[in-house]
Amino acid sequence: MKLSNFNFNLPAELLAEFPAENRDESRLMVVHRKTGEIEHRLFKDILEYFDEGDVMVVNNTKVFPARLYGNKEKTGARIEVFLLRELNAEQRLWDVLVDPARKIRIGNKLYFGDDDSLVAEVIDNTTSRGRTLRFLYDGSYEEFRQKLVDLGETPIPKYINREVTPEDAERYQTIYAKEEGAVAAPTAGLHFSKHLMKRLEIKGVDFAEVTLHVGLGTFNPVEVEDLSKHKMDSEEVRISQEACDIVNAAKVNKKRVCAIGTTTMRAMESSVSSSRTLNPYEGWTNKFIFPPYDFSVADCMVTNFHTPKSTLLMMISAFCGHDLMRKAYDEAIKEGYKFYSYGDAMLIL
């Protein structure tokens, strides 16, 4: 499989700028791998495809307000700082992206907030846009973290060409988010409402939670024609014994295990035993799944519609089968499905 196998024309109007009015009323395309049949439903109809004892595995990572705007010392130039990950809590060191990067050099200081109460010093260059910052703040670590939250903005994707609204803080977050650390939402989970989850639980569907803190590496464009040469950024993963017990019991009992999203799938596939069971794990993963690939844990998945040449699309191709994926995407474009983070969903059975 080559990069060019994953290119297609995506009309600009199909990139969703806003989420569906109600979470569980976005559209749902259901793709049956055995027959190649494609159905068009609403997301809340997912209830009809699962039975008692089936398990949905969700990613409970929580998005933090990772986008800050500061001013460069002396020139006052406005600089966007995107927080990627905390490197050292004690020294308040962070891995960030800056924009415009050409203006930001080692030794520069950036000032944040109307009162300049938060200052950052650039101490290293990591990539063309990447920098390491040391934050300077008079206060405890808890107060410092609260300051980041107060000054930060919900990091909705750059392609959404509008100002961030107060609604984004709620809607660019799953209803089961609890472990803070992601800079992008695990978007397949955005379609679940409290009401829908309750109905699934009443039907006897179990939920298992894993954590994968989504970084921007997930969305880095693939720039090599030979996919085996692409390197994924590492992302932090935690899989508890409890989650493993729920998933492995379902597999023993021949019940369905459904990965809610590509991040959940990647987390699970990063910690599998030789007997194809899920193992507890705490660490990092840079796993890149592209065809051909033999999946060990999940036998169905929920995912959004992804952009051309993305690593996410490559995983879907590996899971769905490349020809069926192309057929489904052609159909999605023809039927006007919405793509990407705030877009519609696909259930692959």
Integer-rounded Cα radius of gyration of the chain: 21
Whether the per-residue pLDDT at 261 is higher than 80: the answer is yes
Question: At residue 78, does pLDDT exceed 90?
Answer: yes
Q: What is the largest CA-CA distance in the chain?
A: 66
pLDDT greater than 80 at residue 216: no
Contact 258, 46 (CB under 8 A): no
Task: Give whole-number Cα distances, 96 to 145, 195, 201, 231, in Å.
Answer: 15, 37, 40, 19
The pLDDT score that the predictor gives to residue 233 is: 85
Q: Residue 102: exposed, middle, or buried by beta-carbon count in 10 A (0-12, 13-18, 19+)?
A: exposed
The runs of H, that is alpha helices, within 125-257 are 141-151, 166-171, 194-203, 241-252
pLDDT of 26 strictly over 90: yes
Give the residue-averaged pLDDT of 54-82.
94
Contact present, 182 and 31 (Cβ < 8 Å):
no
CA angle 234, 140, 83 (to 5 degrees): 30
Q: Decide: 221 and 256 in contact? Cβ < 8 Å.
A: no
Pairwise CA distance, residues 45 & 205, whole Å: 14
The pair phi, psi for residue 64, each rounded to 5°, is -105, 155
